[in-house]
Amino acid sequence: MEEINKELLQQFRPPAFPGSFFISFEGIEGAGKTTQINRIKDYLEDKDFRVLVLREPGGTPYGEKLRKAILETSTNIHPVAESYLFASARAQLLTEVVLKELNTPNTIIICDRYLDSTIAYQGIARELGVQRILETHNVFPLHLVPHRTIYVKIDLETSLKRQEMRNNPKDYFESQDHSFHQKLIDGYDLASELFPERISVVDGKRDFDEVYLSIRQQIDDLIFKKED
């Protein structure tokens, strides 16, 4: 396995805004991220937090244009071009939205995908290497990471079954072959090993209610933890 520089890993830190939190959700197609994000949003709003849900790539007018450019492309995009495109949309989202909104106390930003998607998709599945992805992100504001990342993990078989049931038209990444999707799982496993304190791995194969309760526990631990 690729050796990642430890000092580089330590550059990735959450932004410091007392009382506000930045949380991301990750997973392959069919993991159930969207359903879980909606439920967690309702739960946190009931607890009187101001909750903003963002998605990557996107979340700003510029980012949404880049999203269209990549997901609707009919040509092959070079992995280097791809990785900078996601980083570009991310830097804009951080400065235009995340860092501004977290300034308001009691705010929770939930981001549907973030850096770990780039690690899994471009770093591993597209074979750019994780060290290279992290080096690209080792600059303000891209070195800022969520306080907690919920990785909803499912296996390839479950992903394929759920995709079959939905029968939605496939975008650029969804139409890649099975080995690409297996590499995504490997990529997320690697990200979870590199950032064990930030990334919580939740077994997404279970019934949606059970998955929700596990995620809620992780979020409660983060938000309502006792200050020592």
What residues make contact with ligand TYD under the rule CB under 6 A?
A: 29, 55-57, 71, 86, 112-113, 117-118, 121-122, 171, 173
Q: Min. distance of Cβ 221 from ligand TYD in angstroms?
A: 24
Which residue from 28, 27, 83, 92 is spatially nearest to 59, judged by alpha carbons?
A: 92
Residues 124, 128, 129, CA angle at the centre, nearest 5°?
65
Contacts of 6 (CB under 8 A, 6+ apart): none
Q: What is the dihedral of CA 3, 7, 215, 41, to 10 degrees?
A: -130
In the complex, the smallest distance separating the C-beta of residue 123 from ligand TYD, rounded to whole angstroms, is 9
What's the closest the beta carbon of residue 5 comes to ligand TYD, in angstroms? 21
Q: Would you say 71 or 139 has its CB closer to ligand TYD?
A: 71
Token pair of 157, please? 């078989």
Q: Are 112 and 56 in contact (CB under 8 A)?
A: yes
Is 54 or 201 the residue whose CB approaches ligand TYD more closely?
54
Per the DSSP assignment, residues forming a β-bridge with 200 are 150
Nearest CB to ligand TYD, comparing residues 191 and 201: 191
To ligand TYD, the closest distance from the beta carbon of 57 in angstroms equals 5
Nearer to ligand TYD, 112 or 188 (CB): 112
